[in-house]
Amino acid sequence: MITNSMTNKIFEIINGHTFHLHNQRISYVLTIMENGQLGHLYYGKSLGALSVADIAYLKTQNSKSAGTVKYSPDTGNFTLADRAQEYPVYGSSDFRRGAIDVSCNQEPWYLDFKFADYSITSDKPRNLETPESYAIGNEEATQLNMRLVDDQHQLELTEHFTIFDNQSVVVRSTTVKNCTNKPVNIENMMSAVLELPDDKFQMINLSGAWLKERHVKFHNLEQGTVAVESLKGASGHQHNPFIALVRSQDLNQGEVYASNLVYSGNFISQVEVNEWHKTRLMSGLNPTYFGWKLDVNESFKTPEAVMYYSDHGINGLMDVAAGFTKKHVIDRRWRQRDRPIVFNNWEATYYDFDEQKLLKLARQAKRIGMECFVVDDGWFGQRNTDRSSLGDWRVDPRKFPNGIAAFSKKIHAMGLQMGLWFEPEMVSPDTSLYQEHPDWVVRHPYKCVSIGRGQYVLDFANPEVVESVYQQIKPVILAAELDYMKWDMNRNITEAYSPYLTRHNIPQTEFFHRYAQGVNRLYQLILTDFPDMLIEGCAGGGGRFDLGTLFYCPQIWPSDDSDAVERLSILTGTALAYPLSSFSNHVSAAPNDQVGRQTSLDFRQMVADFGPLGYELDISKLPLDELEQIKENIAFYRRHRQLFVNGRFRQLQSIDPQSNEVTWSVENTDKTEFFVGFYRKLATPNSGVLNYVKLPMVDPNLTYQIDGQEKVSGAVLQHLGLRQPYQFNGANRDTAELYGDFQAHLFHIVSVE
């Protein structure tokens, strides 16, 4: 047994063929099978040091053959169909979908990667070129790189497995290298596979549409495949790359396996159950409309997949996913920095504004405590509607007669930060950018060209286009001394085709991935020059909420639906996979612009409090009492901002988007302070005056004070629960605290002596 101990992450090789990666929380065990390929033995709760006998025991579960087709007459009397594998291939005795498909001269290759050697690395720096998880110093991560070789085809495959100090996470990616003397084509290459020994799970995925993104959906697993995917060039409003497998819907107990991709583009995440109730989870680049030509000696590396594990149910998963994302995906500096309280003019003015109107709003915003003034769409070119001027990133002199620098100086002089909206990947037909460079647009030479929101997508697979967009944007960032940028993306890709790729003899099947790389390149250019600028991601609201975007943008506008009731469902889904600090909330007008719903300012504020806060309504027209209320709300939020943004988030009742009541909380690390948000969507007749919500997270040995009033022990809050506001039952109008639809209460619970 070789043991290599790096702080708390341990890597062991047992009997020369079995590899065990583990830290304080999890173990991951893989083995070299009889045929030389990589088999999977275990992922789950930490097993501690493993003995040779343990390994023999683990291996038996992976050595019984049920299938009839054997691996190979001369090398193995077993079938791959029922072996848990690390990176299975189709075409052997395993008939399920494989993780990699390669062809050469139109001939499919049946691949057979056998173990060659391994290496251990511990440096994983944050590199702006590619969104990937990172570690600081050599103590935070250990990466096992297993090199496998297919001798016959002369392809080399390296499987990367990374574990992190104190994280219930394994990050995987794969590199393939062409060692032949001719080009080959990758037709499919997944980031990760996770084989599980049974199918006693439900699958959760996050799906929806524009204005209702990332609702929690449950699927029962059956023999067959369930997949979520995108072919839109972005992760999309409809599906998210995150999927989870839960043993039960219990919020606090039971095993959960989940996966996500550090990627923003076409993806597939799927779960396949076979005839023997074994589950295979795979996730990676969507193989549809994908192909990559690998020239001699070239390598291709997949995006990373993050495989989460929790044995504390859905809340455990949320904690693992949020903690990992804040520490190892998002730029860590944003954990300490206060997220500015934003005023955004979009729903306040839409395109109808000028400098004077904005300055009036800015003065008001400053007076009531806001911190960053964001000029949304419409400040450039001749942009008075959404049909014009994208790609002409020069300030509109009719709206800003003194230029953007002068305007921004006034904003800064008020003590506000300055933010601007861009949609860098797009171009409107009425711009000189479009007219001078018609071949810079994503467009097939066919006559039929789809146009969305009156705009075209720029060909970000062409590095010259990316560079040119940056050369336009950079002087604006400099002139306005921007503190904040909103990066929007309001249409998806159709008739995907890059004239640049054809000119350079690069297959069009590489387009979508190269486009994603072009987007990364622009982020890299911007953040290299302006590392302290806060970029907020956005794609027609939540059309690109993923780890690939969070690598560059510490927060994302999660939906164009700012209705607080809808946001309950969107935040519930999003928080399964992403930290609260990434979910930007704005208090908007009532009735709400997207659904026409009337809710109270209190209700809207109590929803928006959880995460980075902003306001997006015409504050120049609000009644004085509402303005004073907002001022107080902001002062309150500022006092507790760290907890609202970075506290541990939990669900206390249900994650079902149909649920009429939502109760969630944030807590500090030493469990001395909590906020519990309680929301009831619709009034229900005589549903009981008194109801309780158990608080599993409080310390039973402490005494807590609720809203500065009642004092009660943690044990009571844990076992009886927190008393919800008194409900109206038809007869208690005088004492009822919950009356009518859309009611909320924010409990502040603090430990006292």
Which spans of this chain sit near ligand GLA (rule: CB under 6 A)?
A: 346, 376-377, 386, 421, 488, 490, 538, 540-541, 557, 560
In the complex, which residue's CB is closest to ligand GLA? 377
Residue pair 198/243 in contact (Cβ under 8 Å)? The answer is: no
Own/partner pairs, 249-252, CB within 8 angstroms, 24+ separation: 249/202, 249/218, 249/314, 249/655, 250/313, 250/314, 251/313, 251/314, 251/315, 251/650, 251/651, 251/652, 251/654, 251/655, 252/312, 252/313, 252/314, 252/315, 252/316, 252/696
| 338 tagged catalytic | no
| 560 tagged catalytic | yes
Q: Which residues contact 169 (CB under 8 A, 6 or more apart)?
A: 26, 163, 306, 307, 308, 309, 320, 324, 328
- For ligand GLA, which is the closer residue by CB, 188 or 562? 562
Nearest approach, Cβ of 651 to ligand GLA (angstroms)? 26
Nearest approach, Cβ of 356 to ligand GLA (angstroms)? 21
- For ligand GLA, which is the closer residue by CB, 38 or 390? 390
CB burial string 337-359: b at 16+ within 10 A, e below = eebbbbbbbbbbbeeebebebbe
| CA pair distance 151, 154, nearest whole angstrom | 5
Nearest approach, Cβ of 486 to ligand GLA (angstroms)? 6
Nearest approach, Cβ of 394 to ligand GLA (angstroms)? 18
| CA pair distance 9, 27, nearest whole angstrom | 10
| CA pair distance 706, 409, nearest whole angstrom | 44
Question: To which residue do tokens 């683990």 refer?
Answer: 58
Instruction: Return the closest-CA partner of residue 289 out of 515, 523, 540.
Output: 515
Query: Per the structure block, which two tokens stand in for 698?
Result: 């409080």
- For ligand GLA, which is the closer residue by CB, 557 or 578? 557
Question: To which residue do tokens 């080399």 refer?
Answer: 156
Residue pair 111/119 in contact (Cβ under 8 Å)? The answer is: no
| CA pair distance 382, 106, nearest whole angstrom | 50
- Write the CA distances from 714 to 495, 558, 726, integer angstroms: 59, 34, 21
Which of 112, 560, 593, 609 is flagged as catalytic?
Answer: 560
Label residue 688 exposed, middle or buried (CB < 10 Å: 0-12, 13-18, 19+). exposed
- For helices 403-413 and 463-480, the axis angle rounded to 10 degrees is 50
Strand residues in 122-238 grouped as ranges (E): 141-150, 155-164, 169-178, 184-196, 202-209, 212-220, 224-230
For residue 256, the SS3 value is strand
Residue pair 37/30 in contact (Cβ under 8 Å)? The answer is: no
The enclosing H or E element of 537 equals strand 534-537
Residue pair 564/603 in contact (Cβ under 8 Å)? The answer is: yes
Nearest approach, Cβ of 531 to ligand GLA (angstroms)? 24
- For ligand GLA, which is the closer residue by CB, 39 or 419? 419
Q: Amino acid identity of 7?
A: T
- For ligand GLA, which is the closer residue by CB, 324 or 343? 343
Q: How many CB atoms lie within 10 A of CB 494?
A: 18
Nearest approach, Cβ of 210 to ligand GLA (angstroms)? 9
Instruction: Return the closest-CA partner of residue 353 out of 288, 420, 400.
Output: 400
- For ligand GLA, which is the closer residue by CB, 229 or 376? 376
Instruction: Return the closest-CA partner of residue 216 out of 651, 581, 677.
Output: 651
- For ligand GLA, which is the closer residue by CB, 514 or 567? 567
- For ligand GLA, which is the closer residue by CB, 371 or 488? 488
Query: Per the structure block, which two tokens stand in for 437?
Result: 């460079």
Secondary structure string (H, E, C) spanning 554-619: CEECCCCCCCHHHHHHHHHHHHHHCCHHHECEEEECCCCCCCCCCCCHHHHHHHHCCCCEEEECCC
Which of 199, 396, 459, 488 is flagged as catalytic?
Answer: 488
Nearest approach, Cβ of 616 to ligand GLA (angstroms)? 8
Nearest approach, Cβ of 48 to ligand GLA (angstroms)? 49
The enclosing H or E element of 404 equals helix 403-413
Nearest approach, Cβ of 491 to ligand GLA (angstroms)? 10
Query: Per the structure block, which two tokens stand in for 166?
Result: 């104190």
Nearest approach, Cβ of 261 to ligand GLA (angstroms)? 23
- For ligand GLA, which is the closer residue by CB, 490 or 520? 490
Nearest approach, Cβ of 490 to ligand GLA (angstroms)? 5
Nearest approach, Cβ of 205 to ligand GLA (angstroms)? 23
Instruction: Return the closest-CA partner of residue 177 out of 87, 38, 300.
Output: 300
Phi-psi region of 261 (alpha: psi -120 to 50; beta: other; left: phi over 0): beta
Q: Which residues contact 689 (CB under 8 A, 6 or more apart)?
A: 726, 727, 729, 732, 736
Nearest approach, Cβ of 351 to ligand GLA (angstroms)? 8
Residue 591, preceding peptide bond in cis (omega within 30° of 0): yes
- For ligand GLA, which is the closer residue by CB, 311 or 386? 386
Instruction: Return the closest-CA partner of residue 169 out of 278, 307, 315.
Output: 307
- For ligand GLA, which is the closer residue by CB, 386 or 602? 386
- Write the CA distances from 486 to 278, 534, 560, integer angstroms: 44, 8, 13
- For ligand GLA, which is the closer residue by CB, 111 or 375? 375
- For ligand GLA, which is the closer residue by CB, 541 or 554? 541
Q: Which residues are catalytic?
A: 488, 560
